[in-house]
């Protein structure tokens, strides 16, 4: 099908779809006038029931923890898929690391900011991960921030250190352990006679870092898993370039 025919074939259904969508939008509540009961009900009781102040994280890791468990396993499975598709078997990892020869070397500005930036990123990621139940943050955001700290090591030309960190089997084991411990935290209340993923740890005082029971614990597990998952994905994409691999001769 030619390009032009494709454009025309797309235009008319798109216009019809847009008009239908606009007509359906008339029945939605107008922008700014949220009426629904659930948001207000949860906002009223969550602080007293769970001793945590960040309602979004309370919903994610307590009221709707089962959804988040499923979503964490989506992440795990997707990384598994990437590894299955792109993993190199054999000796690709044992060759010496090739220095990425770029036309322009690293400027002195980037080189001098490398270590302080890494320190700030790691501390900030840990802070965001530990305070998820009090202020905006939580496991997912902290995991990605810590993973970008790992990528910083690679960006600043320390390819050998990056490879040593991320090709270690510990990264895969950590990822699997993070995902499994979320499920284990859910199963333990079953053994005590409570519902699956029930908040069974004593709740503590509102505003403390160690409050809100299993919410902080689950958030930490998710953070560990997301860090390992992203580091693994970045390493798998860069594996060939780092090992200086040549294409197979088949």
Binders of other proteins in range 226-245 (CB under 8 A): 226, 229-230, 233-234, 236-238, 240-241, 245
- 207 Rama class: left (phi>0) / alpha (psi -120 to 50) / beta: left
Min dist CB 193 to other proteins, Å, is: 28
Sequence-distant (≥ 6) Cβ neighbours of residue 11 within 8 angstroms: none
Distance, CA of 157 to CA of 154 (rounded, Å): 6
The answer to whether 216 contacts other proteins (rule: CB under 8 A) is no
Instruction: Count the site residues for other proteins by CB under 8 A.
Output: 73
Residues 6+ apart with CB under 8 A from 75: 225, 226, 229
- Which residues from 134-173 bind other proteins, rule CB under 8 A? 134-138, 140-141, 144-145, 147-148, 151
Q: CB nearer to other proteins: give 145 or 185.
A: 145
Cα 228 from Cα 135, distance rounded (Å): 24
In 3-state terms, what secondary structure has residue 44? helix
Least distance in angstroms from the C-beta of 123 to other proteins: 15
Closest to other proteins by CB, 44 or 95: 44
Query: Per rule CB under 8 A, is residue 49 in the interface with other proteins?
Result: no
User: Is residue 42 a contact point for other proteins (CB under 8 A)?
Assistant: yes
Question: Would you say 146 or 185 has its CB closer to other proteins?
Answer: 146
Q: In 3D, which of 125, 133, 140, 131 has the Cα closest to residue 215?
A: 133
């Amino acid at each position: 099908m030619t390009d032009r025919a494709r454009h025309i074939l797309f235009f008319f259904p798109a216009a019809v779809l847009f008009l239908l969508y606009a007509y359906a939008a008339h029945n939605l509540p107008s922008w700014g006038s949220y009426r629904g009961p659930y948001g207000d009900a949860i906002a009223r009781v969550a602080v007293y029931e769970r001793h945590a102040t960040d309602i979004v994280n309370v919903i994610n890791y307590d009221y709707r923890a089962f959804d988040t468990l499923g979503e964490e396993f989506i992440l795990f499975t997707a990384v598994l898929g990437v590894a299955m598709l792109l993993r190199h078997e054999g000796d690709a990892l044992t060759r010496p690391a090739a220095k990425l020869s770029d036309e322009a070397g690293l400027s002195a500005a980037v080189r001098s900011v490398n270590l302080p930036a890494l320190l700030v990123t790691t501390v900030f990621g840990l802070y965001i991960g530990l305070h998820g139940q009090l202020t905006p943050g939580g496991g997912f955001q902290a995991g990605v921030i810590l993973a970008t700290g790992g990528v910083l090591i690679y960006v600043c030309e320390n390819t050998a250190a990056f490879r040593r960190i991320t090709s270690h089997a510990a990264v895969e084991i950590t990822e699997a352990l993070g995902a499994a411990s979320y499920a284990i935290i859910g199963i333990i209340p079953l053994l005590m006679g409570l519902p699956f993923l029930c908040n069974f740890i004593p709740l503590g005082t509102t505003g403390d870092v160690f409050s809100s029971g299993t919410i902080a614990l689950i958030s930490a597990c998710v953070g560990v898993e997301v860090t390992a998952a992203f580091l693994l994905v970045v390493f798998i994409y860069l594996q060939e370039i780092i090992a200086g691999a040549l294409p197979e001769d088949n």
